[in-house]
Amino acid sequence: MSYDDQNIFAKVLRGEADCIKVFEDEYTLAFMDLMPQGDGHTLVIPKEPAENLVDLSDDAAMSCIRTVKRLVKAIKKAFNDSGVIVMQLNGAAAGQTVPHIHFHIIPGSIHSMRAHAKDFGNPDKLRELAEKIKACIE
């Protein structure tokens, strides 16, 4: 399957769509999920175009995991939470709603998660939560 460069995350990477940025480096971008499953729900995406994990290069995969680890630490600190869900869905059948590989980082418990891709979060609250996370990134 070929990569759809018109997906929303590709547009975010090109600056054609907005996001509430939490972290960025040369290889990855982390931003708030606009339809959060919990307060602090953050997404990490590679800058490399890839639909799912098996399409991603090893170097990009390593960069993603480094960023995921960094954000998990910051989110745990920001929310004083010992539980953090890290989730990565591959393919529509698995629940992937955007055809660009991404990792979900959600503070809390799987039992407290809201439905996936259901309701939009309040943009002001998302910006506030982003700042809280940014302040804890080392």
pLDDT at res. 1: 57
Q: How far apart are the C-alpha atoms of 69 and 67, rounded to whole Å?
A: 5
- Residues spanned by the domain of 118: 8-134
**Which residues is 104 bridged to in the sheet?**
43, 87
CATH code, domain carrying 33: 3.30.428.10
Q: How far apart are the C-alpha atoms of 87 and 120, rounded to whole Å?
A: 19
* Domain-located, residue 2: no
**pTM, rounded to two decimals:** 0.94
Place of tokens 């080392």: 138
Number of folded domains that form the chain: 1
* Domain-located, residue 122: yes
pLDDT at res. 38: 93
Supply the residues annotated as catalytic: 102
* Domain-located, residue 3: no
pLDDT tens across the length of the chain (138 residues): 589 999 999 999 999 999 999 999 999 999 999 999 999 999 999 999 999 999 999 999 999 999 999 999 999 999 987 789 999 999 999 999 999 999 999 998 888 788 777 889 999 999 999 999 999 999
**C-alpha angle 13/38/61, rounded to 5°?**
40
Place of tokens 């960023």: 67
* Domain-located, residue 46: yes
